[in-house]
């Protein structure tokens, strides 16, 4: 942060290597509230080009920053901090309260904000005083999430690091939040969002904050903002980013190149790998059985002891939270799985586990330890630069947006390791409807007319949801 490339407004000031956005009050009387602006912000001094006027393409971007929010011991907490993209430098400097963002009836210019909200206002649809929200032209968030289950307390006074990533080709925003310097594997918020409707050619980027009816010290420590135009995509940086949520064209390309050069060697390694995985799986199953037996015995002992002194019951989740199925249940968004977990679930993609084959993938029946059965969809390797339009990326981008409809299958996880691209879904034990309708597998199931009518209405309802409510523009 240098005073030269940042414009501060309201109560904000530079302090060592940080920016203090709002002042902390020593009392909450109306006179002390009036003596401060209550709003503070910092914007990068130069406008950033978000839209290429020649091609009309909107950029992708990533923003990483760390901040801390310390409520005053004398008042209720302030409102929080927002990351902001605004059309001009004066857009928001006059708005008091609402994290320095305009109230719904004050909106004049389009804006985008991610709010780290510490005040609970039910009239604005807030879930509580510890949430993040994505705002498009309004402080009523289009998507928000309670941070409490993640263990992050925005008002703890501790340094919090957050990663915001918008990928325009797939119209998706993802946000991570944590206390660690390393990005957590799973984002806390994933939403489908089209910012091309909001972003003008040049916009200002920065932060706003407000105290509202309370007071907190809102401090911004470090900030990195990157923008990606045209064919440049947000690169996959394993060391820095810590995962490979969506593979970039380069990753797929290099994976393919490596695959062709090393195919013989790989076959051998895969063979040995599968053998090792098989042995490990058997050992794991034996251990799980022993573990279960011990646990059953423990619970019996505990139950017998219920009225004794200080009975302590250990739940399974407190014993081990590392199983893939438990991570899937704990995360409300699709979860990243390792290739070892996928291989163990499918017995190394065993041919007798194949339940179907599509145009671009083979589907295996799999089972994750402690979880229900899953359908593991293994995509064929992409030759050349498949880019954003390869079948894996297209399907992933469509399904990851947390589609919620009772007739739509849920994406539970994904794996993108080496040259393997895999999506994991709920398992449908009766397989494909067309096989039953056309009796392709000589299935014993014969659908009655009432069942067929119910299925047709269910399919139509899901299609309506996809096309009208969710505007998915892909093959169904």
Enumerate binding residues for ligand ATP (CB under 6 A). 355-361, 363, 375, 377, 409, 425-428, 431-432
Shortest Cβ 337–ligand ATP spacing (Å): 16
Among residues 139, 152, 156, which one has the least CA distance to residue 188? 152
Our CB check for ligand ATP shows the closer of 356 and 387 to be: 356
Our CB check for ligand ATP shows the closer of 59 and 361 to be: 361
Shortest Cβ 387–ligand ATP spacing (Å): 19
Our CB check for ligand ATP shows the closer of 112 and 427 to be: 427
Our CB check for ligand ATP shows the closer of 54 and 357 to be: 357
Our CB check for ligand ATP shows the closer of 10 and 431 to be: 431
- Alpha-carbon distance of 321 to 285, in angstroms, equals 17
Three-state secondary structure call for residue 181: coil
Our CB check for ligand ATP shows the closer of 318 and 430 to be: 430
Among residues 191, 163, 139, which one has the least CA distance to residue 400? 191
Shortest Cβ 463–ligand ATP spacing (Å): 15
Among residues 138, 191, 149, 133, which one has the least CA distance to residue 397? 191
Q: What tokens appear for 164 in the block?
A: 């915001």
Question: Do the Cβ atoms of 134 and 142 come closer than 8 Å?
Answer: yes
Shortest Cβ 352–ligand ATP spacing (Å): 15
Shortest Cβ 371–ligand ATP spacing (Å): 14
Shortest Cβ 375–ligand ATP spacing (Å): 3
Shortest Cβ 309–ligand ATP spacing (Å): 50
Our CB check for ligand ATP shows the closer of 197 and 474 to be: 474
- Alpha-carbon distance of 325 to 111, in angstroms, equals 39
């Amino acid at each position: 942060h240098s005073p030269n490339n940042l414009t501060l407004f309201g109560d904000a000031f530079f302090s060592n290597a940080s920016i203090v956005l709002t002042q902390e009050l020593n009392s909450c009387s109306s006179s002390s509230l009036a003596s401060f602006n209550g709003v503070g912000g910092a914007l990068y001094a130069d406008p950033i080009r978000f839209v290429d006027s020649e091609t009309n393409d909107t950029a992708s971007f990533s923003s990483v920053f760390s901040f801390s929010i310390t409520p005053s011991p004398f008042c209720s907490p302030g409102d929080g901090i927002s990351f902001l993209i605004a059309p001009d430098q004066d857009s928001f400097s006059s708005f008091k309260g609402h994290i320095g963002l305009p109230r719904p009836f004050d909106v004049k210019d389009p804006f985008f904000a991610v709010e780290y909200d510490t005040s609970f206002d039910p009239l604005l649809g807030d879930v509580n005083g510890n949430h993040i929200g994505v705002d498009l032209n309004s402080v009523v968030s289009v998507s928000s999430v309670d941070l409490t289950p993640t263990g992050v307390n925005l008002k703890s006074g501790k340094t919090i690091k957050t990663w915001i990533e918008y990928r325009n080709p797939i119209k998706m925003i993802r946000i991570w939040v944590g206390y660690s310097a390393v990005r957590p594997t799973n984002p806390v918020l994933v939403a489908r969002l089209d910012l091309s409707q909001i972003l003008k050619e040049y916009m200002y980027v920065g932060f706003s904050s407000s105290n509202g009816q309370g007071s907190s010290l809102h401090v911004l420590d470090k900030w990195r903002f990157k923008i990606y135009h045209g064919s440049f995509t947000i690169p996959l940086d394993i060391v820095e980013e810590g995962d490979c949520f969506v593979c970039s064209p380069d990753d797929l390309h290099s994976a393919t190149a490596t695959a062709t050069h090393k195919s013989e060697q790989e076959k051998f390694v895969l063979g040995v790998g599968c053998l090792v995985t098989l042995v490990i799986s058997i050992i794991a199953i034996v251990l799980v059985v022993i573990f279960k037996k011990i646990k059953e015995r423990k619970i019996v002992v505990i139950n017998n002891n219920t009225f004794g002194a200080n009975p302590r019951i250990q739940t399974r989740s407190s014993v081990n939270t590392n199983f893939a199925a438990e991570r899937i249940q704990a995360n409300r968004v699709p979860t990243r799985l390792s290739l070892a977990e996928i291989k163990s679930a499918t017995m190394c993609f065993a041919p007798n586990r194949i339940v179907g084959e599509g145009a671009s993938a083979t589907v295996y029946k799999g089972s994750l330890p402690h979880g229900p059965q899953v359908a593991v969809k293994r995509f064929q390797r992409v030759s050349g630069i498949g880019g954003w339009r390869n079948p894996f990326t297209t399907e992933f981008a469509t399904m990851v947006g947390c589609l919620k409809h009772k007739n739509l299958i849920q994406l539970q996880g994904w794996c993108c390791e080496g040259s393997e691209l895999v999506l994991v879904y709920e398992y449908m034990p009766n397989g494909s409807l067309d096989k039953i309708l056309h009796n392709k597998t000589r299935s014993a199931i014969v659908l009655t007319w009432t069942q067929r009518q119910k299925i047709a209405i269910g399919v139509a309802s899901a299609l309506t949801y996809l096309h009208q409510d969710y505007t998915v523009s892909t093959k169904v």
